[in-house]
Amino acid sequence: MLIIFGMLVVRSGAAEPAGCGPRYVDGEVRNCFCVFDDRDYAECRQGLRERCQEIADCVGPSLRDRPLLEAAARGDLGGINRAFSALDQAARRQAGELALCTAVAIGHLAAADALIDLGISPDARGGGGMPALLYPNGHRLPMLRLLLDRGANPDAAGGADITALIAATHEGLSAEARLLLERGADPNAATSITGATALIYAASNGDLELVRELLNRGARPDHKDQSGRTASDVARDGGHEEILRTLEAHR
């Protein structure tokens, strides 16, 4: 079973009834999904078009592109090569970028590497324009390293100007954050939603070593988010006294 989520195809761990429709978050349409199998794929895509036609990021992959996306979702290297070769030159870039984001999201390192070898940029973008660097779930650290080794921009940002470094620090993924910093990620990048930076998130999480690393890489301790709070403020609120002292010493 596969799920089309925006422009991305991912595998579903549980059997779900086929169907299409808008996905509601807090009462608003945020995205669309389509669950399909071989029998209901065409009907599902038609329903997706009819019910989500006004939402730009709900256009699923075409039937022509589907074999490449399925091969990427399986990590099938032979299938990737066959499906890619069957596409015309004009279709390869878009289908290949979606396939790379699929392989990255699922954690198929060899499949991601193979798609880049076929000429797909490591800065490929999937659903909603989200860069591949923000997709890793399985094998996250090795996948980030692979993409960066193959030339991905460490500061590539998705919606709300969220970079991989911001995402990693927000989720408490210290090793991933350090790797991104080593590869030149901007420590002062901020989200357009809250204005928070990696330093603010690291201070909030109580990660002293990452706070020190960010400061050593040039993170600004005086940066304020949209509510006017600095990393020192969130460290104080969280009771992270040593982090607070470290931040104050860098002012």
pLDDT digits (tens, 9 = 90+) for 174-224: 999 999 999 999 999 999 989 999 999 999 999 999 999 999 999 999 999
Look up the domain containing 245 and give its range.
154-251
Which pair of structure tokens corresponds to residue 110? 């060899």
Domain count of the chain?
A: 1
Q: Which residues pair with 33 in a beta bridge?
A: 5, 21
- Which helix (H) or strand (E) element contains residue 83? helix 77-86
What is the β-pairing status of strands 8-11 and 28-36?
unpaired
Residue 138: name the closest of 150, 146, 148, 126 by CA: 146
Q: Using an 8 Å Cβ cutoff, are 90 and 65 in contact?
A: no
Q: Number of helices (H) and strands (E) in the chain: give both, helices first.
A: 12, 4
> Is 93 part of a structural domain of the chain?
no
pLDDT, tens digit, 9 for 90 and up, residues 43-83: 444 443 343 333 223 334 555 678 898 899 889 999 999 99
> Is 29 part of a structural domain of the chain?
no
> C-alpha dihedral over 65, 68, 72, 73, to 10 degrees?
60
**Alpha-carbon gap, residue 119 to 97, rounded angstroms:** 10
pLDDT, tens digit, 9 for 90 and up, residues 117-135: 999 999 999 877 889 999 8
> Is 123 part of a structural domain of the chain?
no
CATH value at residue 237: 1.25.40.20
> Is 240 part of a structural domain of the chain?
yes
Q: Using an 8 Å Cβ cutoff, are 39 and 91 in contact?
A: no
Tell me the residue type at 43: E
> Is 117 part of a structural domain of the chain?
no
Average pLDDT over residues 157-163: 90
Residue 225 has phi, psi (to 5 degrees) of -80, -175
Average pLDDT over residues 32-50: 39
For the beta carbon of residue 201, count every other beta carbon within 10 angstroms. Answer: 26
Residue 168: name the closest of 182, 113, 106, 112 by CA: 182
**Alpha-carbon gap, residue 143 to 132, rounded angstroms:** 10
Q: Using an 8 Å Cβ cutoff, are 211 and 195 in contact?
A: no
Q: Which residues pair with 29 in a beta bridge?
A: 24
Residue 249 has pLDDT above 50, yes or no: yes
> Is 158 part of a structural domain of the chain?
yes
Residue 1 has pLDDT above 50, yes or no: no
> Is 186 part of a structural domain of the chain?
yes
> Is 53 part of a structural domain of the chain?
no
Q: Using an 8 Å Cβ cutoff, are 58 and 6 in contact?
A: yes
